[in-house]
Amino acid sequence: MADVVQYKLERMVEELEDLKVRGLFSSLELAEIVKQRRKLEYRLKRHSPLKHDFLEYIEYEKQVDALRRLRKKAVARKLKEKGNEKSKKLKKSKKSISDYAGVSRIVEIYRLATNRFKGDLQLWFQYLEFCRERRNRRMKQVLAQVIRFHPKVPGVWIYAAAWEFDHNLNAAAARALMQRGLRACPNSDDLWIEYLRMELTYLNKLKARKVALGDDEGTLVRDRQDEDEKEWRDENKELFMALNGKKENDRVSDVPNDEAKKKLDLFREQGSSIFRTVYNGALESLPSSFSLRTRFLEILEATDLADSEGMRKEILADMKRDFSREPEYWDWLARVETVDHSSTQKMGKEIMPDQLHKAIQVYDEALNIVPSATMVKLYAKFLMELVVHENGEIQTTEVVSTSGYTVDPVSHVLMVYERAETMRCCTKDLACEHVSFLMQLQRLDEARKLAEKLCSGKLSNAVSLWVLRLSIEMRCVRKQSPSPSKSELSSIFELLKNVLNKVAMSEAESLWLMALKFFANKGRYFDKLVEVSMVLLAKDGDSDSGFSLSSAIVNFVLQKDGIQCAREMYKRFLALPHPGLAIYRNCIELELSLASAGDKGCLVEARKLYESALTTYGQDASLWRAYHSMEIKMGTPETAAAVLWRARKTLRDDNIAVLVYTVL
């Protein structure tokens, strides 16, 4: 290994001497470069070099080469300022070995890295980008290698074709690569779309060449702004008069002859033929891809092809035939209706009333064909985007179309949610959205009645819905008076008690936290809540991971009444059968936080908690590790050694290995 490294370093001598002769690096700097290269070369020659080793070497060489180029420019600038004739000779002179040795070395390191990590696509693309930026001659060879190793990755074919098309200006080679890619990856949306874009771009370049030669006019790229301006001029042609009294459009020079029209339509017809061919091939390979059809439509809208309207209708008809049972199709179709294809308006801008009317008609038709919760959710989301502003405020004004059709978006949203209930496709998410929307509208009474109705029906086990109902009840109680009466507190407590006994503890985290927060300062009811938790924990046990009810109550008591009451509370929980590991960890952390402040009694309590936890969870290596770590930090070497000795005696072989490895 040392001989190979030394051989490589010796081959750098000529390059290093050239750097010194040209005054780009000093002797000390060159010595440091050799030292760093030797260290990095040894890393590459070890038994199992890491990817990081190659990348670190590459990054170092890139920095050295960048510094060399900067200093070369600085030297040339100084010679130019002195007016020395050598500056002219420097410009005309051939490149020396130091000008290309750095790039060659980086390319070689990339080659070694990709040979070792052939499956790392990110590394391959870094290699390709470096070759492209430095215009290295290995680019074509590297592309062939990455295609050989990753023929099923569409991005590789697209990259290779783009390089041939843009850099080499070889449309035939790019087309051949894309067609090979489509044979290797026929199910790739991106490949079909990029192939179509490449063909139309090439056709547009041919047309631009004709225009530059004066044999043609126009372009295949559709410019909406020019079309709007032309339409406006046609509508107001009476305003445009020539000086000789004739209309501007009457001039003979502006009327294209039949031959010019034929030339203009030739490229549009050819583009239309290409579009149809690629579309049919993509449809045959990917008949179930909805996103592919929408992307084809986007390209069709952006290009000026012959019979583009007919093709658009054909694609829409195919989509309706194949995706009429898919909610996302109807959502897309309704949003398309909000875009005026004959103007510069884009989706997401302000929607005109007539367009909104058409979109609503599409959604209503969709609900009749696909009566599902997903469809209702998409419908409601569309309307909510119109109703709710960015600042969260709700717009309650009505929208009137030119045909006299009036739409109240707010009432329409409510109607959609009610329709979901009548169609029996109301899920807990839709129910929560309905209740939340009424709360945003400040209709608390309606929201309260609806939440009560939904919670007593088939969604009685939906925790998120119960959270909304209880938050409404609490808000109504606080709205009536700042200090709730005993009857109001009792009704809320009974409601909470019923739902907490009904819902699984692992799912009721938000309910318990809401209840603890609300009754934190209501002593008697807080004690009752603790009793309810005791019964549930004795019945089902506490969680070892995730939400721990006993830990949450202890933390509330600690904030409210202090450490002594919190200690009494967690002792009550630990006396229950099957206390969870989470409560032990929480209590130990509580005691250790006080012990670190200087309270030695808390350290004693922490040891008692560890001993109690180990009686139940003695095979948990992480618990022994935490106990040992505590003794190292706060105890003595003797106590830490005793804990480690006990752990090795208690744990099984696998757990011992984990513990010893972590400790070492």
DSSP code per residue over 18-72: HHHHTTSS-HHHHHHHHHHHHHHHHHHTSSS--HHHHHHHHHHHHHHHHHHHHHH
pLDDT at 625 over 50: yes
Query: What is the tens place of the pLDDT at every residue in 334-391?
Result: 998 887 655 444 444 467 778 888 888 999 999 999 999 999 999 999 988 888 766 5
Query: What's the rounded mean pLDDT across residues 617-634?
Result: 88
For 579, the token pair is 């206390």
pTM for this structure?
A: 0.75
Query: What is the tens place of the pLDDT at every residue in 548-606?
Result: 888 889 888 888 888 888 889 988 888 888 888 888 888 999 888 888 877 778 888 88
Label residue 663 by pLDDT band (50, 70, 90): low
Longest dimension (CA), the chain: 112
Query: What's the rounded mean pLDDT across residues 170-185?
Result: 95
List, in order, residues 6 or more apart from 511 with CB less than 8 Å away: 463, 466, 467, 470, 496, 499, 500, 503
Is the separation of the CB atoms in 549 and 505 below 8 Å? yes
pLDDT of residue 579: 85
Query: What is the tens place of the pLDDT at every residue in 631-648?
Result: 888 888 899 889 888 888
Task: For tokens 């063909």, name the residue.
Answer: 199
Label residue 475 by pLDDT band (50, 70, 90): confident
Is the separation of the CB atoms in 451 and 469 below 8 Å? yes
Three-state DSSP state, 84: coil
Label residue 522 by pLDDT band (50, 70, 90): confident
Proportion of the chain above pLDDT 70, given as a percent: 84
Three-state DSSP state, 388: strand
For 257, the token pair is 């002859």
Q: Is 251 exposed, middle or buried (0-12, 13-18, 19+ CB in 10 A)?
A: exposed
Is the separation of the CB atoms in 228 and 343 below 8 Å? yes
C-alpha dihedral, 128 to 133 to 138 to 144, nearest 10°: 30
Is the separation of the CB atoms in 411 and 354 below 8 Å? no
Phi-psi region of 214 (alpha: psi -120 to 50; beta: other; left: phi over 0): left
CA atoms of 4 and 230, how far apart (whole Å): 73
Proportion of the chain above pLDDT 90, given as a percent: 34
Q: What are the phi and psi torsion angles at 507 (to 5°)?
A: -95, -10
List, in order, residues 6 or more apart from 554 with CB less than 8 Å away: 566, 569, 570, 573, 583, 586, 587, 590
- Of the two residues 87 and 126, the one the predictor is more confident about is 126
| Interhelix angle 563-574/549-561, nearest 10 degrees | 160
C-alpha closest to that of 130 among 62, 60, 78:
62
pLDDT of residue 479: 77
The DSSP call for residue 249 is: G
Three-state DSSP state, 290: helix
CA atoms of 22 and 20, how far apart (whole Å): 6
List, in order, residues 6 or more apart from 324 with CB less than 8 Å away: 369, 370
Query: What is the tens place of the pLDDT at every residue in 412-442?
Result: 889 999 998 888 888 999 999 999 999 888 8
Mean pLDDT for the chain overall: 83
Query: What is the tens place of the pLDDT at every residue in 253-291?
Result: 444 555 555 555 788 889 899 999 999 999 999 999 999
For 229, the token pair is 């301006």
Listed in sequence order, the DSSP H helices in 258-408 are 258-285, 290-302, 308-323, 327-336, 353-369, 373-387
Distances (CA, A) of 224 to 227, 301, 302, 336, 348: 5, 10, 9, 17, 17
pLDDT of residue 341: 52
Task: For tokens 């030797």, name the residue.
Answer: 38
pLDDT at 45 over 70: yes
For the chain, the structural domain boundaries read: 1-117
Give the angle subtended at the CA of 422 by the CAs of 421 and 427, to the nearest 5°. 25
Is the separation of the CB atoms in 412 and 360 below 8 Å? yes
CA atoms of 575 and 572, how far apart (whole Å): 5
Is the separation of the CB atoms in 292 and 189 below 8 Å? yes
What is the H or E stretch that residue 390 is in?
A: none
C-alpha dihedral, 305 to 309 to 314 to 318, nearest 10°: 100
Query: What's the rounded mean pLDDT across residues 158-186?
Result: 94
Is the separation of the CB atoms in 249 and 237 below 8 Å? yes
Residues in the chain: 664
| Range of 104-113, 217-226, 349-358 with top mean pLDDT | 104-113
Is the separation of the CB atoms in 394 and 410 below 8 Å? yes
List, in order, residues 6 or more apart from 178 with CB less than 8 Å away: 157, 158, 161, 191, 194, 195, 198
C-alpha closest to that of 154 among 296, 275, 286:
286
Start-to-end CA span in the chain (Å): 31
Distances (CA, A) of 297 to 39, 154, 306, 346: 56, 21, 14, 14
For 254, the token pair is 């502006």
**In whole angstroms, how large is the CA radius of gyration of the chain?**
38
C-alpha closest to that of 68 among 104, 109, 22:
22
